[in-house]
Amino acid sequence: MIIMPLYLPLKHESFHADSPLFFPATTYYMAQRFFGNKKMPKWLERFTGSDSMLNIASSLSGTTSAKGMEGMTLSMITGNDPAFTKHVNLLIDWIENKETPDIVHLSSSLLIGIAKMLRQRLSFPIVCSLQDEEVWIDSLDKKYADMAWKSIAENMLYVDKFVTTSNFYKSIAIKRVPEITNVEVIYPGVDCQKYASSDYPEHPVIGFFYHMNREDGLDILAEAFVKLKKRDVIPNLRLKIGGGYAGKDKKFLKKVKKMLAPYKDYVEICENYRLEDHARFYGSISVISVPITFEEGFGLYLCEAFAAGRPAVEPSTGSFPEIVGNAGILYHPNNSDALADALQKLLCDKHLYDQSVKRAEELSSTRYNDRIFAEKLIQFYLSVFEKND
């Protein structure tokens, strides 16, 4: 397997990139937006592609808004941009000089322009993942969003098969691009042993692990926690927040901290994320709750929480009814009152909590683990090979 990051380098030692960075975010953005058909000066390429510039870009990553990146987004989807052509040809040249892959798996249809160029020069199967593209595309102005969906429909002809993470998102993809019919659902999975934890905290702890921003509902959970503390029905209830945030979220996070200030002794905010602490996070909580404000195709944090035997309390939107099932509680509407009620119900009913824990562990062992995921993904690849024989 060859792992090829495109925009930003993989920093942690546990992630190993097997290729150069062919679309360095800062260089590609400058070339696409400001140079068009003109050649970008070499000194500027070196400067924008330096580690310091890419580190700045990394610190700003994680946004779900495409504002200001309309051109770059369409460039990667259509495959018709001069900057795109230059960079993708470097990628293809590298592939031609290395071992030819048996199959290429694109991580998102937002990169589908690469499939078009690969097919024009090379011959091997191409598959593409679909997940939450509409969150990014729908943040574009309508004319750009329409162009994006149209271009995905046009370039899907260069993809042998698509794969997505839930039946819910399969229906979303088909609704947005009716021409897509060859979509298979494979639920993601994690290393269950890595997250397994039989030690539960002495006092109930609500956990939030995702981007610390408004889109992912951190303020909704903070409000619900404050309401639960005021009700005083769950002794020593605590809140633990992790996952990291982008620069644009600092103001939002400051407001959340102010909201939680009266109960700061019961709140832990892990601002400095360390991969080494990731699995331990789930062992330190009693329940996971990420009240996302959009219809998410899947949340990997649920796989991780279930592997630790921690149930979920999530809004009954998007893929959550399909993914969570009875491994927790689904609530409606997605506001702090309904969330507080759902959390109180789960944490105050020991029988319900124990049953939810049991179901979470069952889902982890039978659906959301890395072994089952790998087996299904291999079968998926084999089906593509058979189609191309």
If asked whether residues 214 and 342 sit together in one domain, one would say: yes
Looking at the fold, whether 151 and 294 belong to one and the same domain comes out as no
For 106-130, write each residue's pLDDT tens digit. 999 999 999 999 998 888 899 999 9
Residue 363, SS3 per DSSP: helix
Residues 122, 231: one domain?
no
Whether 3 and 104 share a structural domain: no
Identify the pLDDT of residue 368: 96
**Positive/negative CA dihedral, 243, 247, 248, 253:** positive
Domain check: are 179 and 120 in the same one?
Answer: yes
Residue 388 reports pLDDT greater than 80: no
Closest CA to 374 of 164, 163, 189: 189
Q: What is the mean pLDDT of residues 223-243?
A: 96
Would you say residue 59 has pLDDT above 60? Answer: no
pLDDT of res. 55 = 64
Is residue 35 scored above 80 in pLDDT?
no
Q: How many domains does the chain have?
A: 3
Mean of all residue pLDDT scores within the chain: 88
Same domain, yes or no: 321 and 347: yes
50-59, 178-187, 202-211: lowest mean pLDDT where? 50-59
Using CA atoms, how far residue 265 sits from 240, 273, 289, 373, in Å, is 11, 20, 20, 40
Same domain membership, residue 205 and residue 120: no
Domain range for 99 is 66-189+369-389
Query: Among 116-120, 310-314, 376-380, whose mean pLDDT is lowest?
Result: 116-120
Q: Are 153 and 130 in the same domain?
A: yes
* Per-residue pLDDT at 1 exceeds 80: no
Q: Please check whether residue 112 is in contact with residue 127, taking contact to mean a CB–CB distance below 8 angstroms.
A: no
CATH number at residue 373: 3.40.50.2000
pLDDT, position 40: 74
Predicted confidence (pLDDT) at residue 16 exceeds the cutoff of 70: no
- Give yes or no for residue 285 having a pLDDT over 90: yes
Mean pLDDT, residues 304-325: 96
Closest CA to 130 of 91, 173, 68, 188: 173
Q: Residue 151: pLDDT band by 50, 70, 90 thresholds?
A: very high
When pLDDT is cut at 50, 70 and 90, the band that residue 213 belongs to is very high
* Residue 52 pLDDT > 80: no
Q: Are residues 323 and 206 in the same domain?
A: yes
pLDDT at 44: 72
Residues 247 and 338 in one domain: yes
pLDDT over 60 (residue 64): no
Q: Which whole-number Å values give the CA distances from 107 to 54, 111, 131, 133, in the listed order?
A: 21, 8, 9, 11
Q: Residue 10 above 90 pLDDT?
A: no
Residue 23: pLDDT band with limits 50, 70, 90: confident
Instruction: Compute the distance between CA of residue 181 and CA of residue 176 in angstroms, rounded to an integer.
Output: 12
Q: pLDDT by residue (tens digit) across 291-300? A: 999 999 999 9
The percentage of residues in the chain with a pLDDT greater than 90, rounded to a whole number, is: 63
- The pLDDT score that the predictor gives to residue 18 is 67
Q: Where among 36, 62, 88 does a domain terminate?
A: 62
The reported pLDDT for the residue numbered 334 is 97
DSSP secondary structure of 309-361: T--EEEES-TTHHHHHTTSEEEESSSSHHHHHHHHHHHHH-HHHHHHHHHHHH
Report pLDDT for 49: 66
**Confidence at residue 9, expressed as pLDDT on a 0 to 100 scale:** 66
